[in-house]
């Protein structure tokens, strides 16, 4: 087989690759843990940050770092990706509710289109 050949041999995995390319347009060096956080939030509307951390088996610090990056303000004054919002839960002010922004919803819609259309 020619090592330079670029013939697709698995169309389903290629669609997943194209979906990842859409995500990487947000930040070409986005770590897998950040992608997992985004996909968890997208698949669990209005979830608590703590539930995301437990499901993904990440620390509170990692959860904060990732949700900061996904929101409007990343660490050290850098702008975030603006894909989610973090709001205090009105029933428990110590908990944060995570939601997709319009930009986040559009990204997820594009991902669904690549994967399922």
Question: Above 70 in pLDDT, residue 2?
Answer: no
Please say if the pLDDT value at position 5 is more than 80: no
Taking the C-alpha atoms of 41, 47, 53 and 56 in order, what is their torsion angle to the nearest 10 degrees? Answer: -50
Contact call for residues 53 and 61 (beta carbons, < 8 A):
no
Sign of CA dihedral 54, 57, 58, 63: negative
Tell me: the pLDDT tens digits for 23-49? Answer: 999 999 899 999 999 999 999 999 999
Residue 1: pLDDT over 60: no
Average pLDDT over residues 67-79: 90
* pLDDT, the chain, mean: 93
Partners of residue 84 on adjacent β-strands: 100
Residue 44: half-sphere exposure toward Cβ, Cα within 13 Å:
17
Q: How confident is the model at residue 76 (pLDDT cuts 50, 70, 90)?
A: confident
Tens digits of per-residue pLDDT, 88-108? 999 988 899 999 999 999 999
Domains of the chain as residue ranges with CATH: 12-116 (1.10.10.10)
């Amino acid at each position: 087989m020619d090592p330079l050949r670029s013939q697709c041999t698995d169309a389903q995995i290629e669609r997943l690759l194209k979906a990842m390319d859409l995500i990487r347009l947000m930040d070409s060096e986005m770590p897998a843990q950040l992608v997992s956080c985004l996909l968890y939030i997208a698949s669990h509307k209005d979830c608590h940050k703590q539930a995301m951390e437990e499901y993904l088996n990440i620390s509170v610090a990692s959860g904060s770092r990732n949700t900061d990056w996904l929101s409007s303000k990343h660490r050290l004054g850098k702008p975030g990706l603006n894909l989610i919002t973090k709001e205090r839960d009105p029933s428990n002010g110590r908990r944060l509710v995570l939601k997709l922004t319009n930009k986040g919803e559009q990204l997820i819609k594009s991902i669904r289109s690549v994967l399922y259309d």
